[in-house]
């Protein structure tokens, strides 16, 4: 079981590694910035490392006292992760299919996933949003929308 406390420890360990890598990376900075920006980055690395070490120390000291609380990321994991993967899929597909086809698939699928069941409302909302984006973003404000390689 992944608990909140374990997640804290994993995150803190990750940040500690990041702090060490950050500090070490400044050796490859140009000599002209060793006394300026490299110094700043080293300061960030050292401070981050010390604070993470301190928080981990506090974590171990409180280990016996703190109550075990399961890490609950989502109240409804099916919808939460479903939407997240749909968003990831959107980001991957948009550069191939283009903005309008991807969005025309994303909106109704997202609504269905989240519990909408009336086809008319789903269709009208999706069409209305895309029309609004076309008129306001594309035509009026000439905001560039993601273009696909297929269309």
Task: Enumerate binding residues for other proteins (CB under 8 A).
Answer: 4, 7-8, 11-12, 15, 18, 22, 25, 29-30, 32-33, 35-37, 39-41, 44, 47-48, 51-52, 54-55, 58, 71-76, 79-80, 83-84, 87-88, 90-91, 94-95, 99, 103, 106-107, 110-111, 114-116, 121-122, 125, 129, 133, 137, 141-146
Closest CA to 90 of 75, 79, 100, 78: 100
Q: What angle do CA 151, 88, 101 make, to 5 degrees?
A: 25
Dihedrals phi, psi of 70, to nearest 5 degrees? -70, 140
Q: How far is the CB of 7 from other proteins (least distance, A)?
A: 5
Q: How far is the CB of 60 from other proteins (least distance, A)?
A: 14
Q: How far is the CB of 147 from other proteins (least distance, A)?
A: 9
Smaller CB distance to other proteins: residue 84 or 151? Answer: 84
Q: How far is CA 57 from CA 11, 30, 68, in A?
A: 14, 36, 18
User: Measured between alpha carbons, how far is 20 from 112 in angstroms, rounded to an integer?
Assistant: 46
- Six-digit token pair at 58? 């506090």
Residue listed under structure tokens 């401070």: 47
Q: How far is the CB of 63 from other proteins (least distance, A)?
A: 16
The upper half-sphere exposure of residue 124, i.e. CA atoms within 13 Å in the direction of its Cβ, equals: 5
Q: How far is the CB of 17 from other proteins (least distance, A)?
A: 12
């Amino acid at each position: 079981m992944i608990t909140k406390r374990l997640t804290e420890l994993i995150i803190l360990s990750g940040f500690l590694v990041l702090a060490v890598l950050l500090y070490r990376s400044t050796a490859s900075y140009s000599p002209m910035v060793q006394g300026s920006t490299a110094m700043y980055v080293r300061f960030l690395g050292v401070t981050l490392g010390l604070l993470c070490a301190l928080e981990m120390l506090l974590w171990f000291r409180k280990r016996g006292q703190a109550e075990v609380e399961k890490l609950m990321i989502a109240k409804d994991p099916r919808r939460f992760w479903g939407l997240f993967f749909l968003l990831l899929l959107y980001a991957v597909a948009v550069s191939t299919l283009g903005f309008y086809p991807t969005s025309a698939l994303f909106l109704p699928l997202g609504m269905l996933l989240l519990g909408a069941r009336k086809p008319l409302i789903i269709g009208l909302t999706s069409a209305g949003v895309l029309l609004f984006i076309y008129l306001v973003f594309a035509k009026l404000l000439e905001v560039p929308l993601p273009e696909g390689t297929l269309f």
